[in-house]
A and B are shown apart, each in its own frame.
Chain A
């Protein structure tokens, strides 16, 4: 049975909607806890989060939680991107960056696992990111609902991302989405549109130790 929270997130479909201040279809008599509220502003959510990674979906705060496998993939991918940009200073890879994609809404923030921006699109965003990244990367956990994962990818594409990668941990595969094409990749991840010369083996995302150090892989 879907809880109220899951239902809300699903029906929200990741686009802002007018706020009623109360959970739909329920008379609420007691004072709501902050995490139950659906009218949080970005500032209130930031104060609540105290540095934890979170998203704000139609005024509801959702904390991002990562298990070891998720965190490991994020670390490997971010490390590879960091090294790439060190050699090719054309942009930045920013993990857990809060995106303010709706300038008119104080109730919505999205936080991709990694946001890759080219330098020209970083201008004017020294404090807050107000555009979708050129390449948005999400790592899907086993518990994530398919519809929510794809809705998120569509959102980034609509908001201007040129490429979205969704890493499916359970399948050891990555989905590469562009406005014109969706495809699966299970061998080597590349992104010629945005990152010429960049490549990372998909298997490396699921290896527990970087293979370059000669350690045996213990993941899986």
Chain B
């Protein structure tokens, strides 16, 4: 017995001669779950998310889920940056900060794992951020597709980021992307032009904090 979906495909190619069964067609996913098919706006997605971190990619909501490795790296790196900015008040570090990079597009809302803004790019009066962070940091999960990871980095650069760090926990390495250069770093993470005198050993990000107290 052909499923509804198979039947539709067949109909599209004009093979079957029997009339379409409209009573069964009503049971398609689109009819049953209209919200799954709809392009969500930022407001709709926020209501659905109920506080969970998420991203909106062309109207499709993606919840951000962190495993132990991911969460540990995110915590360690943001703590180090937080400490740094405590001593050098030149900017601010934010985790899971949703960016409204396209004022005209209500269907896209990227959320970098860590965002660093320098003081001159922080506008307290705006509730939402419309610029890409000076330094955007993404931590890659094993399930991520290569094209999606790199596309996100490109988006941040196009929207004004000066540097993007893409951290690969599985490789214990980081790709440093700037408008002019892509390179791998496995020793020390630093960005002298953006964050003078800030540096963190890459290996520290991947080990338990018990072994490397902050």
Interface residues of A (CB under 8 A from B): 2, 10, 140, 142-147, 149-151, 168-171, 173, 181-184, 186
User: What 5 A-B pairs have minimum CB-CB distances, sorted nearest first?
Assistant: A170-B147, A184-B182, A142-B147, A147-B142, A182-B184
Q: List, in ascending order, chain A residues with CB within 8 A of B100's CB.
A: none
Least Cβ–Cβ distance between A178 and chain B, in angstroms: 11
CA distance A10 to B186 in the complex (A): 23
Q: Check if B145 is an interface residue, CB within 8 A of chain A.
A: yes
- Whether A147 touches B170, Cβ cut-off 8 Å, given contacts A2-B143, A168-B150, A170-B147, is yes
Closest B residue to A140 using CB positions: B146
- Whether A184 touches B146, Cβ cut-off 8 Å, given contacts A150-B170, A151-B170, is no
Main secondary structure on A side of the interface with B: mixed
Q: List, in ascending order, chain A residues with CB within 8 A of B85's CB.
A: none
Q: Report B145-192 residues with CB < 8 Å from chain A CB.
A: 145-147, 149-151, 154, 168, 170-171, 173, 175, 182-184, 186
Q: List, in ascending order, chain A residues with CB within 8 A of B120's CB.
A: none
Interface residues of B (CB under 8 A from A): 140, 142-147, 149-151, 154, 168, 170-171, 173, 175, 182-184, 186
Least Cβ–Cβ distance between B32 and chain A, in angstroms: 18
Least Cβ–Cβ distance between B175 and chain A, in angstroms: 8
- Whether A143 touches B145, Cβ cut-off 8 Å, given contacts A150-B168, A151-B170, is yes
Main secondary structure on B side of the interface with A: mixed
Q: Are A170 and B146 in contact (CB under 8 A)?
A: yes
- Whether A145 touches B146, Cβ cut-off 8 Å, given contacts A150-B170, A170-B151, is yes
Least Cβ–Cβ distance between B25 and chain A, in angstroms: 26
Q: Which of A2, A146, A183, A186 contacts B145 (CB 8 A)?
A: A146
Q: List, in ascending order, chain A residues with CB within 8 A of B142's CB.
A: 10, 145-147
Q: List, in ascending order, chain B residues with CB within 8 A of A173's CB.
A: 182
- Whether A142 touches B145, Cβ cut-off 8 Å, given contacts A147-B170, A170-B151, is yes
